[in-house]
């Protein structure tokens, strides 16, 4: 059976959703992880040996714009959750 894991972005460290991804990665350690954006410095050693494959967006977006867009999206989600 072939398995692939998918996550929206890996940019802000090991938070709740990233911890769930880590559990799935433990279950399927050979599965590649597809994601829109990835920041290895923010994700730390926990994901250093994972097979992470980013989208074309990481190559085509400006590195100055992409993190701001992701942070704005996350801030919007938090605002909606507290409402």
Using CA atoms, how far apart are residues 58 and 25, in angstroms rounded to an integer?
A: 22
Q: State what percent of residues in the chain have pLDDT above 90.
A: 41
Instruction: Give the pLDDT of residue 26.
Output: 96
pTM, to two decimals: 0.69
Cβ atoms of residues 37 and 73 within 8 Å? no
Question: What secondary structure, in 3-state letters, does 13-64 show?
Answer: CCCHHHHHHHHHHHHCCCCCEEECCECHHHHHHHHCCCCEEECHHHHHCCCC
pLDDT of 79 over the 80 cut:
no
Higher pLDDT, 14 or 78: 14
């Amino acid at each position: 059976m072939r398995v692939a894991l998918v996550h929206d972005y890996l940019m802000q460290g090991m938070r709740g959703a990233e911890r769930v991804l880590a559990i799935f990665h433990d279950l399927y350690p050979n599965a590649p992880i597809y994601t829109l954006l990835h920041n290895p410095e923010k994700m730390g050693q926990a994901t250093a040996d994972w097979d992470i494959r980013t989208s074309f967006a990481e190559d085509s977006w400006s590195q100055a714009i992409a993190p701001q867009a992701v942070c704005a999206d996350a801030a919007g989600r938090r605002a909606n959750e507290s409402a």
